[in-house]
Structure 1
């Protein structure tokens, strides 16, 4: 019987063929922690009596949620990870000196590679499936188990095959493709399953698009999202100092899927997810007709804080101004992205238009800092969640979109189709 790419990755790791539904104990290639979740893992690790990491080079801590520290509590929280990293002489520890949002930083550093099994105590760890890896979020104590043993237990997930057909229209991105999927199947439509993204559309998607696509697999309830290795993956990786040699797998033609979804991308418009769930998707045409006024525009996060996001925002805002009643916040995903955007002139364009640029951080996305919404305020955001109170006040509203839609909306002050900006 044929295997999916996910089944092949697990089979390679356990040394025998495995299939969906089997319970396995599997070696972990990369364990990822951050400043919010890692202190709990560290406590569990030390409470276990362990004195050293099972796989030191396969453990990474990225301080990205409240760094630089927003208050005393976050400073003390970060200190726990800093002390642990120093005690264990960790090679893969990233603080202010080389900061970035974890799911943008690790691919940039070559620390996550095709064929890996990756876990992180952050739900959007599924981002790394864009590189042809199995990558998923787990709890902090699951992380501690991997820190101690170098392994963890999995139920091999069933796979849903998503077949994208056609060339995307201008301003239709990976973010729109995943929002359309979530609109179709709902936030629980792929519970404990892998969303395997296939079809001729994939060849038109940049790595930035693919990262956004896999990033939000969890918003459909999925265990992971994955895109098979191809020439675009190869090009992305060629200048990286990779942690290990890629292990490349492809699904067999006779692989078994629990469901197949087909989407005609050529007919798709940009998608806007209305409050208060990512599944509440509407076309940009509908959003424009609904005349939705916004108070804040946010471009950033592990979903859409990459160089192409800053590029399209700068192109749309070139020579224009953010509406007087709108605040526009731009958060590059990493320091490297910030520096490249600066060299290319994107940052000057955005600042000239009226945007403010923050350091790389998850702060605004989770309603922590760097962009909290007040009572009854409305934000159009390139982040991944729009739950009640997600970015601040429980009476605020968050609309999810791609970066082009967000930038266009900053100019008019209402949710706007970027194709309508002259």
Structure 2
């Protein structure tokens, strides 16, 4: 029987052979990620009277959503998590200085091809950038995994998204995903396992694959996946993972897919998601000239090193328009340090950007809030009403290049109009 990636990953995690879409099995995840609100799991354990974990080395806790603490309540939550990690011997504990959980875990070599990863964040689909099965779950599921080591999972159907061609200047992986989300809809791939393919996908960096797999969630995907290759192996080596410790899973040639969608990347223009839904997507030319109060470059979708470098290249020698706030939040401390060493941070600051500490930042409502009537262009993954402050404010989504170009002019701008050839 030919099998998809999802079937193989769930078979490995469950020990059950020959699983079929729709079948429910108990899986044993390789890693359980929980973020700032890990305190919910801890309080539940206290009520249950449980003081032992199934496998403490599968627990990863990252204090990323509200970092540093903004209130006494959050500070107490962080303190509870730190104390729990010390008492339980949680080695994979990352405090408020580390950055966004997804990026930090991948940088630290904790995500590997073929593994089954669960996390208390819907964008845990990002782990597919390294060929892992990553999916978001609730805090009750994480708590159960802490205690029992397992959770039930329904085997998803699979969909192939084939992206071919060479992207034109000014068009990036974020534009590809916004186009797909707009075409397929926010519920177009609900509970599907998304396998990305095509010659464009095969040639992109792990960072761009992260953008792909991260945003697959915005179409309702259960998980997303890019087949591991030499690019993956080089990234893992940089994260301290030896090649002999990598055991990828690849879909079979005759695997059955619910649907195959093809996109010609060479015909693509910069895209914008307009308020208040991620699948409300237009070409940038359709909304060019929209006034902006703020531009946010951040989130697990687009605050990686190359995202900051792209924005800096657009902003170099220029300045943010009067009255516009440019907030830049690097995804991790490692990314921030590298960008600082390479002069990218200096370029951004000289252009008028405000650099915040690594973490989720404005994407999680931690700073960068808007007042009534204000408008933000963001590189994040969601633009829901009220996500960044007032319910009477508006969020547009774009690539870092479009965001940087728009910050210069103070209105939504086609990046091709300002990018240096």
TM over 0.5: yes
Q: Secondary structure at the match of 2:245?
A: coil
Give the corresponding residue for 1:359. Answer: 357
Q: Which structure 2 residues correspond to residues 20-419 of structure 1 after superposition, within 5 A?
A: 20-36=21-37, 38-96=38-96, 98-242=97-241, 245-288=245-288, 291-367=289-365, 369-419=366-416
The superposition leaves residues 21-65 of structure 1 with CA deviations (integer Å, 9 ceiling, x where unpaired) of 1101011101001112x1111122333332222111111000011
CA shift for structure 1 position 370: 2.1
Number of residues of Structure 1 aligned to a counterpart in Structure 2: 417
Whole-Å Cα distance in 2 between the matches of residues 228 and 395 of structure 1?
Answer: 42
Structure 1 residues 44 and 242: CA distance shift in structure 2, 3 A = farther
Whole-Å Cα distance in 2 between the matches of residues 354 and 263 of structure 1?
Answer: 37
Structure 1 range deviating more: 231-240 or 244-253: 244-253
TM-score for the superposition, normalised by structure 2: 0.97
TM-score for the superposition, normalised by structure 1: 0.96
CA shift for structure 1 position 274: 0.3
Q: Secondary structure at the match of 1:324?
A: coil
Whole-Å Cα distance in 2 between the matches of residues 331 and 14 of structure 1?
Answer: 38
The superposition leaves residues 125-181 of structure 1 with CA deviations (integer Å, 9 ceiling, x where unpaired) of 111111111000000000001100111110011111111111122232221122111
CA shift for structure 1 position 393: 0.4
Aligned-residue Cα RMSD (Å) equals 1.3
Whole-Å Cα distance in 1 between the matches of residues 325 and 144 of structure 2?
Answer: 43
Whole-Å Cα distance in 1 between the matches of residues 334 and 400 of structure 2?
Answer: 19
Whole-Å Cα distance in 2 between the matches of residues 45 and 167 of structure 1?
Answer: 51
Q: Secondary structure at the match of 2:377?
A: strand
The superposition leaves residues 268-297 of structure 1 with CA deviations (integer Å, 9 ceiling, x where unpaired) of 112110000010111122222xx2111000
Give the corresponding residue for 1:13. Answer: 13
The superposition leaves residues 220-251 of structure 1 with CA deviations (integer Å, 9 ceiling, x where unpaired) of 11111111101211111112223992221111
CA shift for structure 1 position 2: 0.9
Partners of 1:382 and 1:400 within 8 A in 2: yes
Q: Secondary structure at the match of 2:403?
A: helix
Whole-Å Cα distance in 1 between the matches of residues 20 and 8 of structure 2?
Answer: 8
Partners of 1:358 and 1:370 within 8 A in 2: no
Partners of 1:45 and 1:145 within 8 A in 2: no
Whole-Å Cα distance in 2 between the matches of residues 374 and 362 of structure 1?
Answer: 20
Whole-Å Cα distance in 2 between the matches of residues 239 and 363 of structure 1?
Answer: 26
Uncovered stretches (5+) of structure 2, i.e. residues with no partner: none
CA shift for structure 1 position 413: 0.5
Whole-Å Cα distance in 2 between the matches of residues 11 and 90 of structure 1?
Answer: 28
- Report runs of 4+ in structure 1 exceeding 6 Å deviation: none
Uncovered stretches (5+) of structure 1, i.e. residues with no partner: none
